[in-house]
A and B are shown apart, each in its own frame.
Chain A
Amino acid sequence: MLRNLPILCALIACISFQSLAGAFPKDDDPPAKKRADVEARKRDRVAAPGERPKRAEGQNGAGDRQRGNRDPAKMASMMLQKFDKDGDEKLNVEELSAMMTFMQERREQLVGGAGPGNRPRPGANKSSDGKRVDDNEVGGVKPRRPPAE
């Protein structure tokens, strides 16, 4: 690794320059592409440090995280985005059923129980190595049989 260090330093410098160069619109790109790029960057843009997102009417910080206080229009938009598979900007019967099933499952998980077929909240009952332990094995954990004496 050390023998390549000078090249790597140069590379890093180039990448930095390249990023900087890429921030400016390319003059030879067609206008439509420029507009598309700008729109894409707007979509991908995350809040700059220190910048606070605009609060929609009705939002009140921590209360936003409570489901009852969400902007209904936003929620509808999210649901549409998630379940509108055919892209017609409306939910047909199948898509609506999928949405209702999703909401029901989330509700069941939230109340701390898991109905048949539902898995408990991710992260619950995990061992420190990230593997899910068998805490939810109904009827207790069946121990591994040792060798016969």
Chain B
Amino acid sequence: MKPIVALSRSFLILLNATGFALLCTEASTGQDADGRPAPSVEQVKFFESKIRPVLIQECYGCHSSKTGNAKGGLRLDNEQLMHLGGSSGPAVVPGNVDESLIYNAISYQDFEMPPKKRLSDTIVEDFRKWIEMGAPDPRKTEIAQLRSQISAEDIAQAKREFWAYQKPVMPAIPTIDDESWPRRELDRFVLAGLENAQLSPVADAESSQVLRRLCYDLIGLPPSREQLERFVRAWQKDPDHAVATMVDELLESPQYGERWGRHWLDLARYAESNGREVNMTNPHAWRYRDYVIDSFNVDKPYDRFVQEQIAGDLLPAKNDAQWAQNLIATSFLALGPKSLSERNGAQFAADLADEQLDTTTRVMLGTSVACARCHDHKFEPIPQADYYALAGIFASTETYYGVPASQFGNMGGVQNRNKSNLLRLPIEDPNPFDKTFTSEELEQLTAQMNQARQEIVESRRASSGVGKNSANAKLQIQNVVRIQARMAAISSQLGGVDAQGKPISYCMGVQDRAEPRDARMLVRGEIDQPAQMVPRDFPQVLRDSPVDIAPGSSGRRELANWIASQDNPLTARVMVNRIWQHLLGAGLVASTEDFGSTGQAPSHPELLDYLALKFVDSGWSIKSMIREICTSRTYRLSSAYDLEKFEQDPENRLLWRGTTRQLDAEAIRDSILFVAGRLDLQRPRASEVAKAGYMQVRDGSLINITQLTAFSTDDNGRRDAIREIIQQRAAENSTTIGDRPNDRRRRSRDNLRGMAAGLLNGNSEYTDMVHATYRSVYLPIVRDELPRALDVFDFAEPSMVVGQRETSSTPNQALFMLNNEFVIINSEALAKRVAEATSSPTQRLEQLFQLTYGRSPTTAERSAVRKFVLDFDAHSAAREPPLSTMIALSQALIAAAEFRVID
């Protein structure tokens, strides 16, 4: 045996040398799919002999596709997935032992793998060497090569034939029979369509109806008595001039931006909290709200408005103030809901990019590119590759949406596995509710943190050595969670100030990553099934040639320029359509977020193109377009019903009459305050969410108990502090508890939150904001916890892109009008306002109708009111009804349908 073994050994040495030499020749000149040098022979040998056996034996059981396990989202059975890592991050970073979590785990540092038995030092050392040499790994994933079913010819054909993918062309102004009817050129398009269908428009609406329409459409408020009288007089002389003058007046009003800014906030899914399972507040989101309102008020060109929100951080700025506004604008990309408890970091990042991509393309281009995340778009010529081409731009962007870090790190909440920092503004404009701390207070908070850390250590020590399911262990876990929540609140306070205790100014927003990169396609959108890389680009059907992205940049600047370009076939059309929809009740393209083949075709395609080009020519001025539409004949058509016309065009697509519309939630609430004489037109600074600070919202409460009791050193101190807060709030709010179910009184007195919530006597801490008198656009918008006054009247779902709100008529709305404290308070104020103005019952009735409906009561209504008064209160037989009857009457007028309808 010995000679044969010896001979074999020599032969093998010779053969190995030859073979390895050949391998070296092949391997050392090659590169892998990611462009890295292919491993050398020695490196492969090292891997095969030292690393792979260990992985197979110790790791694959829980981290490989063969066993179907991927604990912690981690797979270790191929190179790409080891680099991708799991929920904690990449398992291997070639050349970097410190960043390679697999080394951390097998050396039993912060992780301990394998869990049952530590590997020997020699093996751990082998892994270290392997990582340092670049982690050579011949286990290349069979990268799927996804092929699209959508060919270049399909895309080219769609560009040639489908209307939305062709640039707008100025149409010829149509000839019409009735030249006396139009007031604007757009009227000629409308009339031409009606005449072609042998229809004619109805008469104009009454002057009071036109004014009411203009006021609600432009500023979201009813006309004042003075405005009504002035307008009616002017209308009698010259209706066109009256309308034009009033439009100009309303467009100059600051309330215009609040009204039209809110339309944009619906699209931008604006909210002041994250929503979903971890509903953390965003105390700096209000800056974006104010940015949008101000942008509309100054009539910022729409192309610029778009560019700022996509790439404001990259735009030149003439000074720090402008730079700050540009940064705040990028909150548009940071506002979306996120799965903060997602364990897999790669999944979270992919979902974030997807949300940003979807919002941007649907809002600004009316195109659902995100439908191509998992497969080719089913209906549009958008291959899956195009989705990932665009996703690469967003994946190369760092998004900041969380809480400022303190010297203790970034603590974003106990369940928050995807924490984030905030952008520091280059100007001093802190959140007005951020406290300035003295040095003693800073020391106290720091001491609180250190004490809390010690408490956690002690809790963990107390819970160890006993069964994990024991009552003591569970109590200690709860204790740890509570302490961590407290630490997160204190850390957010410390992070909000500088070393001198002065508040720092922050905003949400984005920045380019240090190393932008293309995205890899994913089979069926699955994060662990990578396919080929795709260069960053725009959807082919929407652009003429591949985009040229500047080196080292994400491509967002290029994306912003492309969307805002007048050569983009969709941008102007989509925005003009939205403006039309808000003024006329429905867009020329009814599907405002879908200009694709499954959306609605435009009812007036030439008119759409005409308006789009006019919009661009005006310098992308939204006010100009609003003026154009509001001064048209089409806008002031009556909503009168006509059977013959209705039978021919029941949906009014040809615009033969005006559309009766229900007021939206903000207009209803603002109108109630307006008629009661309690509406405060002053913009409040920041928001209630900013006041509450960083916290997790539950049960509609914005009381940040942890923050309010931060200086209490123990539970007794915290209870005393809460008692004081409750007494103070109770003194501020003497009204009864609102209509929200209140079973919190039944909670244990040991539950600090329950005690606080249960003993509250007012609703000001709840997101309902019953006592707030500012405009509804400034109410706190907390996902899943909307103010009831908004929620019940079809407010836009703040987690979604909403171009057009739904309109419903439900018993809840009627019950709200009858029972809600907000309505009752303001009905009382309306009654008192009228009672103080005049003592005559007839005059009071007249005033009530003028204030609520802008008109005098009819004879039938006077009779009905007389009957109501007599029935409601026996004392009504007296000359002056008691106040309670007036209040009831006021409430009845507010609750009636006419109050909530634009005719």
| Chain A contacts to B: CB under 8 angstroms | 1, 4, 7-8, 10-11, 14-15, 17-18, 21, 27, 43-49, 52-53, 61-69, 78, 81, 106-116, 120-149
Contact = CB atoms under 8 A, between A and B. Distances in A.
Nearest to B53: A46
Contacts of B119: 46
A140 B19 CA distance: 56
A126 B89 CA distance: 6
A131 B395 CA distance: 13
Contact of A68 (B9, B23, B117, B461): B461
Interface stretch (B312-320, B591-599, B738-746): B312-320
A10 B90 CA distance: 37
Interface stretch (B228-236, B401-409, B819-827): B401-409
A123 B423 contact: no
Contacts of A116: 407
Given A68-B461, A140-B504, A113 B487 contact: yes
Contact of B350 (A8, A128, A140): A128
B327 A143 contact: yes
Contacts of A45: 120
Given A7-B19, A14-B12, A146-B323, A126 B345 contact: yes
A44 B504 contact: no
A5 to B, nearest CB: 10
Given A4-B26, A128-B348, 4 more contacts: A10-B19, A17-B8, A129-B515, A136-B409
A74 B120 CA distance: 13
Query: Size range of the interface on B?
Result: 35 or more
A62 to B, nearest CB: 8
Contact of A107 (B53, B322, B457): B457
Contacts of A130: 83, 85, 89-90, 93, 99
Interface of B: 2, 5, 8-9, 12, 15-16, 18-20, 22-23, 26, 53-54, 57-58, 83-85, 88-90, 93, 98-99, 101, 104, 108-110, 112, 115-123, 313-318, 322-323, 326-327, 345-346, 348-350, 395, 398, 400, 402, 404-411, 419-424, 426, 449, 453, 456-457, 460-461, 464-465, 468, 484, 487, 491, 495, 498, 504, 506, 509, 511-515, 517
B422 A121 contact: no
Nearest to B25: A4
A18 B12 contact: yes
Given A66-B464, A68-B465, A124-B88, A141 B422 contact: yes
Contacts of B513: 127, 129, 131
Contact of A46 (B58, B85, B348, B514): B58
A142 to B, nearest CB: 5
A21 B120 contact: no
A133 B122 CA distance: 33
A10 B20 CA distance: 11
A134 B511 CA distance: 11
Contact of A149 (B22, B88, B316, B405): B316
Given A127-B345, A139-B424, A146 B511 contact: no
Nearest to B323: A146
Given A8-B22, A49-B57, A120 B409 contact: yes
A4 B109 CA distance: 44
B121 A138 contact: no
Contacts of A147: 316
Contacts of B346: 128
Nearest to A26: B5
Contact of B112 (A65, A69, A114, A138): A65
Nearest to A125: B419
A138 B453 contact: no
B89 A123 contact: yes
Nearest to B420: A135
B687 to A, nearest CB: 19
Contacts of A61: 116
B469 to A, nearest CB: 11
A114 B457 CA distance: 14
Contact of A11 (B19, B314, B424, B426): B19
A148 B457 contact: no
Nearest to A132: B99
Contacts of A47: 57-58, 117
Residue in A66, A78, A139 with the greatest tally of chain B CB atoms within 10 Å: A139
A45 B117 CA distance: 12
Contacts of B456: 111-112
Residue in A109, A124, A127, A143 with the greatest tally of chain B CB atoms within 10 Å: A143
Nearest to B22: A4
B104 A122 contact: yes
A64 B464 CA distance: 10
Given A10-B19, A11-B15, A112 B487 contact: yes
Contacts of A110: 110, 457, 460
Contacts of A145: 323, 426
Contact of B404 (A18, A133, A139): A139
Contacts of A123: 85, 88-89, 101, 104, 110
Contacts of A7: 18-19, 22
A113 to B, nearest CB: 4
A6 to B, nearest CB: 10
A120 B397 CA distance: 23
Contacts of B101: 122-123
Nearest to B61: A49
A140 B402 CA distance: 10
A81 B107 CA distance: 12
A143 B426 contact: yes
B326 A140 contact: no
B453 A113 contact: yes
B116 A112 contact: no
Contact of B511 (A49, A114, A128, A143): A143
B93 to A, nearest CB: 5
A126 B512 CA distance: 16
Contacts of B117: 47, 53
A143 B345 contact: no
A8 B411 contact: no
A42 B635 CA distance: 89
A11 B123 contact: no
6 contacts: A8-B19, A110-B110, A135-B420, A136-B410, A146-B317, A149-B317
In order of increasing CB-CB distance, the 6 nearest A-B pairs are A68-B464, A123-B88, A11-B19, A140-B424, A130-B90, A123-B89
Given A15-B16, A53-B117, A112-B487, A143 B313 contact: yes
Nearest to A70: B464
B88 A138 contact: no
Contacts of B461: 68
A122 B99 CA distance: 7
Nearest to B56: A49
Contacts of A78: 108, 118
B1 to A, nearest CB: 9
A112 B317 contact: no
A73 B122 CA distance: 21
A134 B112 CA distance: 26
B217 to A, nearest CB: 35
Contacts of B419: 124-125, 135
Contact of A138 (B57, B104, B407, B515): B407
A136 B411 CA distance: 9
A65 B453 contact: no
A16 to B, nearest CB: 10
Contacts of A126: 88-90, 345
Contacts of B349: 127-128
A44 to B, nearest CB: 5
Contacts of B322: 149
Contacts of A4: 22-23, 26
A137 B517 contact: no
Given A146-B313, A146-B323, A14 B93 contact: no
B63 to A, nearest CB: 15
A125 B345 CA distance: 9
A4 B317 CA distance: 61
B515 to A, nearest CB: 7
